[in-house]
Copies of this chain bind each other. A is one copy, B any other.
Amino acid sequence: MATRRSAADKTPAGQLTEARLHDLIGYQLAQAAIATTAVYNREVFGPDGLRPVEYTLLTLIAENPEVSSARLAKALAVTKPNITMWVDRLEARKLLQRRPSPSDKRAVLLKLTAAGSRMASSATRRLLKGERDAMAVLSAAERALLIELLHKVARSRPQGPS
């Protein structure tokens, strides 16, 4: 397959031709991420000093109370030491707490503090509004469709016991 080519086949900035990259999902994801990162930096990193990983961790922990580091590492496709480092920082900021698991004495259960919970919620609210405003070219239906298609791509991720 080949999608329609047009004179608009230029990079959003710099005005370079990118016809050969047009059909590459990986490249187009990276270009789109430049836009969402700008929204993130304005709405969350600026006000709260939260890194994208930190925001994501807070939100996943909020929704999955007492989740373990190991499962978070798998969900985000990063290593365990990396999670340890971010959890250290979030704990130092008193946004979450570590508690020993009663059932498995190796495991550490993670739980947000009230402050962490509040910060995660307000960040989500600002992000949703920020993205909606910045990407007003997308209708509600188009946004929903985009999300579903991105889900399909994400689910194609190799699972494996890695």
Contacts and interface: CB of A to CB of B under 8 A. Distances in A.
Interface of A: 1, 3-4, 11-40, 52, 56, 59-60, 62-64, 67, 71-75, 77, 124, 127-128, 131, 134-138, 140, 142-159
A131 B34 contact: no
A20 B142 contact: no
Instruction: Say what secondary structure dominates the interface of chain A.
Output: helix
Nearest to A133: B156
Given A24-B128, A157-B35, A13 B74 contact: yes
Given A21-B124, A135-B153, 9 more contacts: A13-B75, A13-B157, A18-B63, A20-B62, A26-B52, A28-B150, A29-B32, A33-B33, A137-B155
B156 A25 contact: no
24 contacts: A3-B148, A13-B77, A15-B71, A16-B71, A17-B64, A20-B59, A20-B124, A24-B128, A24-B131, A25-B146, A26-B39, A26-B127, A26-B131, A28-B151, A30-B33, A30-B52, A30-B56, A31-B150, A35-B154, A35-B155, A145-B149, A146-B149, A146-B150, A146-B153
The CB with the most chain B CB atoms within 10 A, among A148, A151, A156, is that of A156
B23 A128 contact: yes
A145 B152 CA distance: 13
